[in-house]
Amino acid sequence: MKKLVDTIATEDRHMPPFFTKLPLSIERGEGIYVWDESGRRYIDFTAGWGVTCLGHAHPAITGALTEQGRKIIQNPNSGLTYSPARAQLIALLTGILPSNLTRVFFSSSGAEANDAVIKLARKVTGRMDVVSTEQSFHGRTISTASATGQAKHRERFNPLMPNYIFVPYGDVGAIAEVLGEQTAAVILEPIQGEGGVNVPPEGYLRDVENLCRKAGACLIVDEVQTGFCRTGPMFAVTQLGVRPDFMTLAKGIAGGFPFGAFALSEAVSAKLEKGDHGGTYCGNPLGCAVAYTVIRHLVENDIEQNVKNVGALIHEQMLLWKDRFPAMIADVRGRGLLLAMEIADAATAERIFSEALKRGLILNLIQTKVIRLCPALNVTPGEAEMVLSILDEALEAAAEKD
């Protein structure tokens, strides 16, 4: 059958030039595999930038979409009416969140969630300054771009929102120096995702929490990328013993359906009032049903343990590669299935990426020279071994061209 639309030509002609796209038109997917319009199969080791946590077209997700879609997709008067699907999701979430986070509100994305909690932190403290970290990433709204510690995401959009202060990531002393009577909040990622999969020193978040308590500032933990078993535990703060005032969630929360949330403590909620926030899609029944299904699947199938096991397998091989290609691989790092290889230079990183793509493996290249490995959380050890074999070939081919 003749194609009605030339996909690549149509998108190139009519979409804004925000991305340098791969010349791939992906038509369908199943598990870690995707197929382009010509029928060629690829392995997706990006999980749609950490979103498709159960892989593509997972039957639990497609079933939830169908079942809830037959009932109701959007409530009348949106958030002004109650929703069984929303209540069910809230009950599930409050059972797995840090125990002090007893209130939950929903959004359509992580950026929207971060935007909201920055606004609300300023409201409840009566202060303006927000401390963020260099190399952080918190979203693309004007407020969250202003909070992002990467100049390339900020400087093109002047004037930015004021009252953001940036300090080096992982440096507790630097935060202590800037915290003061005007500090509304400190916003941190447990591991910086877009910044290069940067892991902070042991105890960093706990120390920052203590500083915030002493200063009367809110601690915002951005778990958009690290949440829902991405690093192993359900949330990165879970095993760290950190109790944030706000926590933002998205990406893996609904396995590919656009959805986000933020959780907050009872103490913070007591300082809020009607009209402080809202939204048309503040937990629409369809998104809630999908998120509930995804989270239940993560819990009931012990995905946390799979992430730890497969993540350790991949990380061990990455360390072997670092020893084998010392001139090419500068560093390996990460936790669980949020892993990265920092390559010596951008040109070599691009060669590795291209060699992998030739062999049917789609990787994620960030910060020009960091290859991020961020697969579906239910990837099997056998699938991981297959990917490692392909990536081994790509590394060999790239090394030969040096």
Residue 368 lies in a domain: no
Chain center to CA of 259:
12
Q: Residue 46's pLDDT is what?
A: 98
Q: Do 279 and 254 meet the contact criterion of CB atoms below 8 Å apart?
A: no
Which among 395, 396, 373 has a CA at the least distance from the CA of 384? 373
Q: What is the pLDDT of residues 3-46, one digit of tens each?
A: 768 999 999 999 999 988 999 999 999 999 999 999 999 999 99
Q: Between the CA of residue 145 and those of 106, 247, 250, 305, what are the distances in Å? A: 20, 18, 17, 34
Q: List the structure tokens of 396.
A: 């060999």
Q: Does residue 32 lie in a domain region?
A: no
Query: Which pLDDT band, with edges at 50, 70 and 90, does 111 fall under?
Result: very high
Compute the average pLDDT of residues 214-228: 98
Residue 31 DSSP class: B
Q: How confident is the model at residue 2 (pLDDT cuts 50, 70, 90)?
A: low
Q: Which two tokens stand for residue 216?
A: 């009367």
Across the range 34-59, mean pLDDT stands at 97
pLDDT > 70: what percent of the chain? 99
pLDDT of residue 145: 96
Alpha helices in 273-302 (DSSP H): 285-300
What are the phi and psi torsion angles at 136 (to 5°)? -75, 165
Indicate which CATH number applies to the domain containing 229: 3.40.640.10
How large a percentage of the chain has pLDDT more than 90?
95
3-state secondary structure of 338: strand
Residue 268 forms part of a structural domain: yes
- Which range of residues forms the domain containing residue 163? 59-300
pLDDT of 102 over the 50 cut: yes
Q: 232-260: per-residue pLDDT in tens? A: 999 999 889 999 999 999 999 999 999 99
pLDDT at 156: 87
Residues in a beta bridge with 351: none
Structural domain count of the chain: 1
Tell me the mean pLDDT in the region 192-217: 97
Closest of 261, 246, 268 to residue 130, by C-alpha: 246
Q: Please tell me whether residue 292 adopts helix, strand or coil conformation.
A: helix
Q: Residue 212: inside a domain, yes or no?
A: yes
Asked if the structure places residue 358 within a domain, the reply is no
Identify the H or E element spanning 264: strand 260-265
In a domain, 356, yes or no: no
Indicate the angle between helix axes 303-324 and 381-400, nearest 10 degrees.
Answer: 20
Asked if residue 397 belongs to a domain, the reply is: no
pLDDT at 402: 62
Express each pLDDT in 161-180 by its tens digit.
Answer: 999 999 999 999 999 999 99
| Domain assignment of residue 233, yes or no | yes
Across the chain, mean pLDDT equals 96
Encoded tokens for 19 = 């991305």
Residue in 376, 366, 64, 385 with CA at minimum distance from that of residue 196 = 366
CA distances for 376 relative to 49, 184, 286, angstroms:
10, 36, 22
Comparing C-alpha atoms, which of 293, 223, 235 is closest to residue 260?
223
| pLDDT at position 1 | 47
